[in-house]
Amino acid sequence: MPYDEIIYSVENSNIAVITLNRPEAMNALTHKTHAELGQAIDEANQDDSIRVIIITGAGRGFCAGDDVKTIFLGSGASPEERQKAYREEQLRYLQGQPITGGSEALLTINKPSIAAVNGAAVGYGCDTALMCDMRVASESARFGEIFLRVGLIPDEAQLILPRLVGLAKAYELLLTTDIIDAEEALRIGMVNKVVPHEELMPAALELAAKIASKPPLSVRLTKEGIRRSVNIPVEQWKEWYSFAQRYCFGTEDHQEGARAFVEKREPDFQGR
């Protein structure tokens, strides 16, 4: 299917490459990008010829997270309208309907996924990289969980990061919002490999091809077995998160953080 804010291509006949394609905004995600990313992941998952998925970004950045102006400040929508839309989405989830869009499906599909991190991966961009099964990083890659800077809480990093880097380091990265470089990410186990920038996609494709050469049913069952062995409580966590993040979206601190981000100043959080 045609996409506007991502590029979907197939390499070696069995590797889907999904490229976030808003380079002028460091691939920050709009509502449309979220929807298209979810659709592309589903397209790759439903295609029996695809054995591995790679996600990367166009230009200098992997993904700068959600586009603050369009998602957090609503592009003209009032706080009441944004809150109403968010509550309706969460109600659909609590009634058993899946929340579509974004990278969330990576947590449940059984096709292996690789993030080819070509630059900054912050906020939901960092989460997207973490939701992939493996991460190959360019030397210019940067990683940061910066949700607290805009009065929100991290997304799926709360589930995944402690399992990758340990509890103490996860607390540090999530609570300080520090941004780390590729070598530090490799040192703490956050990425699998760091390569020179010009070798990033060849390295990611080489890893993908190696996995794609294995029997696909056994690969999928192995991935499911690993997921079960670490007992990631996805559904329980999502139910809690849906309430906690909804609460944060309704706070004055979130609006202050989002405005401060856009205005390039330090926020003045008041705890309300």
- Total of domains in the chain: 1
The pLDDT of residue 92: 59
Report pLDDT digits (tens) over 14-37: 999 999 999 999 999 998 999 999
Instruction: Report the pLDDT value the prediction gives residue 87, as an integer from 0 to 100.
Output: 66
Mean residue pLDDT of the chain comes to 88
* Within-domain flag for 118: yes
Does residue 249 form part of some domain? yes
Residue 101, pLDDT > 70, answer no
Residue 96 banded pLDDT, cuts 50, 70, 90? low
CATH number of residue 63's parent domain: 3.90.226.10
Q: Is residue 179 part of a domain?
A: yes
Q: Is 271 helix (H, G, I), strand (E, B) or coil?
A: coil
Query: Can you give the pLDDT at residue 169?
Result: 98
The burial of 243, by beta-carbon neighbours within 10 Å (0-12 exposed, 13-18 middle, 19 or more buried), is given as exposed
d(CA 139, CA 142): 9
DSSP character string of 184-220: HHHHTTS-SEEE-GGGHHHHHHHHHHHHHTS-HHHHH
Long-range contacts of 86-94 (CB under 8 A, 24+ apart): 86/246, 86/249, 87/246, 90/242, 90/243, 90/246, 93/238, 93/242, 94/239, 94/242
**What confidence tens digit (pLDDT) does each residue in 107-153 have?**
989 999 999 999 999 999 999 999 999 999 999 999 999 999 989 99
Q: For 190-212, what is the mean pLDDT?
A: 98
121 part of a folded domain: yes
Domain residue limits at 156:
6-263
Would you place residue 98 in the very low, low, confident or very high pLDDT band (cuts 50, 70, 90)?
low
Report yes or no on 50 lying in a domain.
yes
- pTM across the whole model: 0.83
Residue 212 contacts residue 14 (beta carbons within 8 Å): yes
Per-residue model confidence (pLDDT) at position 162: 95
pLDDT at position 85 is 60
Is 272 a domain residue?
A: no
Residue 6 pLDDT greater than 90, yes or no: yes
Is 1 within a domain? no
pLDDT of 70 strictly over 90: no
Task: Output the pLDDT for position 238.
Answer: 72
pLDDT bracket for residue 90 (50, 70, 90): low
Kindly report, residue by residue over 203-260, the tens digit of the pLDDT: 999 999 999 999 999 999 899 888 888 877 777 777 777 777 778 878 888 888 888 8
Q: Is the pLDDT of residue 100 over 70?
A: no
* Cβ proximity of 30 and 83 under 8 Å: no
Q: Is 92 within the bounds of a domain?
A: yes
Is residue 69 within 8 Å of residue 31, measured between CB atoms? no
